[in-house]
């Protein structure tokens, strides 16, 4: 299973909200699978200080081989690597749009995006089918009575692509937590989709989201739930849906995109590792169910 590796160049930078930059990249070579499915993640590689472009190892036939080559790059030259959702591929082009949440110079991705200009170059790895969920939003929505989505601003690109992929008429409820009213942004979706915006206004990340879902009078029936954002908030929401709302774990797709006061370079906690094991087990069950249905 090959893993695409390419350089991408900035061709356009737009502020869609005061704290969100939508950056359009043109790839040297873009895999045909990019932009063909919702909630599709790639890894962007950022240059170290003094580098005009990041140092990239060559492509590999598998994800682990590429990662070994990445780790073999001497640390002072090894690029910082962060995961992002493809917001959109421009039809018929080698161009992709990716949204960046800007939170100052507290991380390499935000610092780079805040100063990005046309001509700047990054590396892009993926997408990889190895990390794609076998449960599509379309099949999940068709099997459920309605769809629940909940996330913070880091999840909005994925939520946007998922909403656009839902069958017309799908009853959908979205809870979206952002810093304040100015961070709200247009989202696509089927007619009748309800989007409830939650403003942190200085509260801890995820607090408004957890409180709103826990207090909500949700529609009747069995939903499919999709949760993403700050890891501890996602964990709390999932526990609430399972233990207090009675949702089966198999009907919840979840991802902790980031951790409050931690970076992706920090070691995972015991709870992070437990989430990863459970997510892997859930994916294995989904694969088995699909195989038996064939």
Q: What is the Cβ-side half-sphere exposure of residue 12, based on CA atoms within 13 angstroms? A: 12
Residue 129 confidence (pLDDT): 59
81 with 23, same domain: the answer is: yes
Residue 274: predicted pLDDT: 52
Residue 98 β-bridge partners:
23, 86
| In a shared domain, residues 105 and 153 | no
pLDDT reading at 294 higher than 50: no
pLDDT tens digits along 55-87: 987 766 666 778 888 898 999 999 999 999 999
69 and 194 in a single domain? The answer is no
Of 72, 105, 127, which marks where a domain is finished?
127
3-class SS at 7? Answer: strand
What does the DSSP assignment read for 98-116?
EEEE-BTBSSHHHHHHHH-
Same domain, 116 and 184: no
d(CA 128, CA 31): 10
**pLDDT band with cut points at 50, 70 and 90 for residue 37:** confident
If you average pLDDT over every residue of the chain, what do you get?
86
For 266, phi then psi, to 5°, come to -75, 150
End-of-domain residue from the set 66, 95, 127: 127
The confidence score (pLDDT) of residue 263 equals 55
Mean pLDDT over 178-192 rounds to: 91
For the segment 191-219, the average pLDDT, to the nearest whole number, is: 95
| pLDDT(292) > 60 | no
pLDDT tens digits, one per residue of 15-30: 999 999 999 999 998 8
For position 219, what pLDDT does the model report?
95
Find which of 152-156, 163-167, 262-266 is predicted with most confidence, using mean pLDDT: 152-156
Task: Give per-residue pLDDT as tens, 258-288.
Answer: 876 555 554 455 554 455 555 544 544 444 4
**What pLDDT is stored for residue 128 in this prediction?**
65
Percent of the chain with pLDDT over 90: 64
Share of the chain above pLDDT 70, in %: 83
Q: Output the domain CATH number for residue 240.
A: 3.40.50.80
pLDDT exceeds 50 at position 293: no
Go through the chain and tell me how many residues it has. 294
Look at residue 48 and tell me whether its pLDDT is greater than 80: yes
Q: How far apart are CA 215 and CA 252, in angstroms?
A: 19
CATH number, position 57: 2.40.30.10
In a domain, 46, yes or no: yes
Query: Which residues touch 280 (CB under 8 Å, ≥6 apart)?
Result: none
The per-residue pLDDT for 146 is 95
Q: The domain containing residue 253 runs over which residues?
A: 137-293
Both 157 and 283 in one domain: the answer is yes
- Residues 228-232 have a mean pLDDT of 96
SS3 (DSSP) at 239: helix
Query: 148 with 265, same domain?
Result: yes
- Is position 38 within any domain? yes
Give the pLDDT confidence score for residue 79 in this predicted structure.
95
Together in a domain, 101 and 144: no
Which pLDDT band, with edges at 50, 70 and 90, does 177 fall under? Answer: very high
State pTM to two decimals: 0.86
Query: Max Cα separation, the chain?
Result: 56
Is 279 found in the same domain as 259? yes
């Amino acid at each position: 299973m090959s893993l695409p590796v390419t350089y991408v160049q900035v061709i356009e930078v737009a502020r869609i909200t005061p704290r969100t930059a939508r950056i359009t990249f043109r790839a040297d070579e873009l895999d045909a699978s990019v932009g063909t499915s919702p909630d599709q993640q790639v890894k962007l590689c950022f240059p170290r200080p003094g580098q005009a472009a990041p140092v990239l190892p060559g492509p590999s036939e598998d994800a682990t081989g590429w990662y070994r080559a990445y780790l073999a790059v001497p640390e002072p030259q090894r690029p910082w690597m962060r995961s992002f959702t493809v917001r959109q591929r421009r039809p018929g082009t080698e161009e992709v749009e990716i949204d960046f949440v800007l939170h100052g110079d507290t991380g390499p991705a935000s610092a780079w995006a805040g100063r990005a200009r046309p001509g700047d170059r990054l590396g892009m790895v993926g997408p990889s089918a190895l990390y794609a969920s076998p449960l599509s939003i379309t099949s999940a929505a068709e099997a459920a009575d309605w769809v629940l989505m909940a996330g913070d601003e880091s999840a909005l690109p994925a939520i946007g692509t998922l909403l656009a992929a839902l069958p017309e008429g799908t009853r959908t409820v979205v809870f979206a937590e952002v810093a304040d009213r100015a961070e709200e942004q247009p989202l696509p979706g089927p007619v009748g989709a309800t989007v409830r915006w939650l403003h942190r206004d200085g509260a801890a990340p995820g607090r408004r989201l957890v409180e709103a879902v826990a207090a909500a009078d949700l529609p009747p029936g069995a939903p499919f739930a999709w949760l993403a954002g700050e890891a501890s908030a996602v964990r709390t929401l999932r526990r609430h849906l399972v233990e207090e709302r009675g949702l089966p774990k198999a009907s919840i797709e979840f991802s902790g995109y980031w951790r409050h006061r931690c970076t992706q370079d920090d070691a995972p906690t015991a709870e992070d590792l437990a989430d990863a094991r459970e997510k892997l087990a859930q994916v294995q069950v989904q694969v088995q169910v699909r195989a038996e249905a064939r």
